[in-house]
A = this chain, B = another copy of it.
Amino acid sequence: MADDQPLTRVTCTAPVNIAVVKYWGKRDEDLILPINSSLSVTLHQDQLKTTTTAAVSRDFTEDRLWLNGKESDIEHPRLQSCLREIRRLTRKRCSESNGEGNSDRPPFSLTYKVHIASENNFPTAAGLASSAAGYACLVYTLAKLYGVEGELSEVARQGSGSACRSMFGGFVQWLMGEEADGKDSIAQQVAPETHWPELRILILVVSAEKKPVGSTAGMQTSVKTSLLLKHRAKALVPERMAEMIRHIQQRNFEAFGKLTMQESNQFHATCLDTFPPLFYLNDTSKQVIALVHRFNAHYGKTKVAYTFDAGPNAVLFMLEETVDEFVEVVRRSFPPANNGGQFVKGLPVEAATPSEELLSAVVRDPAPGALRELLLTKPGPGPMLVGDPSAHLLGPDGLPQSYS
């Protein structure tokens, strides 16, 4: 390789998000346009993130992809959608900047092939939706590589609907939009990650079970068969979006928490109204729900709120002041299996000794081993460019570092 610049590499990271107003159902399968708006909290990348390196070189003979170190199918239609969109935006940008000099052109030809490597800092087996972070990271990284700016959430959306919300930090809404081409189906930040410093997010990872019906197939069936989903999307979500934004702006935890739980329950209700019905909550999920309600009832207010996506893991919201005590309550309710691993991960948790009154009121029928681990995190920033060259997942030869 005689060229000065045989390889251009860019590495970025992107976060996971958890919806508090749920997205379920598409009005356009190809463009991934939803039947209702949704709203999420972006989780901090210190605990959960995807890292992606994209590289181009005139020496590459084909586009290639590695996921968590394993070569994977780059022909996946949704991944191709994102690649195509980014390349289209690059061409558009180049043609627009014609006559103004070449400063906006990428430092390489668009015909060059691309190598992409992506990995999560959390096990896929954790059952945490990784596709949102994955596609957000892919789109953000490619955009940085090609020097594209502008409405990237629309591109990420075409990889995985909820990925568009991972393009921002803090509190993010995905506006459903009205246009047929999806140009107005985009994500917007409602409040930055610094808006609510006391907010904490505790993820309860339920011990592995059978994989449930995937969300893509599930939501298709729901759209086709659930009359309650139709009503929810059309008549109920618009008001709930406005309410949720108000509660977040006012940092009203009780109202935010209650609506978050109601949203989760209503989403799972529409899954049950689907034919055949979809069950994503298992008995452990239900025990977590009952525990949260008993805990709140004991205090006479909403101190903890749950939400569940298309799987059994619980994502709990609470204020910092509640964390230590509640984690101990969870530990008593779901005694860790003696497997040597760390039970509570993420942000530090202090030991707490809840009152006997609290314990006797909320801890019932302990289920040893039902939870695999807890992960404490908080709202965090959106995708970021990584400056440190040692973070590249692809080596100077354009292959995964571990292969080099």
Chain A residues packing against B (C-beta within 8 Å): 225, 227-228, 231-232, 235-236, 258, 261-262, 265-266, 268-270, 272-277, 279, 282-283, 286, 289, 293
Contacts and interface: CB of A to CB of B under 8 A. Distances in A.
Given A227-B236, A231-B228, A265 B261 contact: no
**Stoichiometry, copies per complex:** 2
Given A228-B232, A283-B282, A283-B283, A272 B269 contact: yes
Given A231-B228, A231-B235, A235-B231, A266 B262 contact: no
Given A228-B232, A283-B282, A268 B272 contact: yes
A211 B262 CA distance: 24
B275 A262 contact: yes
Contact of A273 (B269, B275, B276, B283): B269
A379 to B, nearest CB: 25
Contacts of A276: 289, 293
A184 to B, nearest CB: 27
A100 to B, nearest CB: 54
Nearest to A231: B231
Nearest to A365: B210
Contacts of A283: 282-283
A289 B277 contact: yes
27 contacts: A225-B262, A227-B236, A227-B266, A228-B228, A228-B231, A228-B232, A228-B266, A228-B269, A228-B270, A228-B273, A231-B231, A231-B235, A258-B275, A261-B275, A262-B273, A262-B275, A265-B272, A265-B273, A265-B275, A265-B277, A266-B272, A266-B273, A269-B272, A276-B289, A276-B293, A277-B289, A282-B283
A229 to B, nearest CB: 9
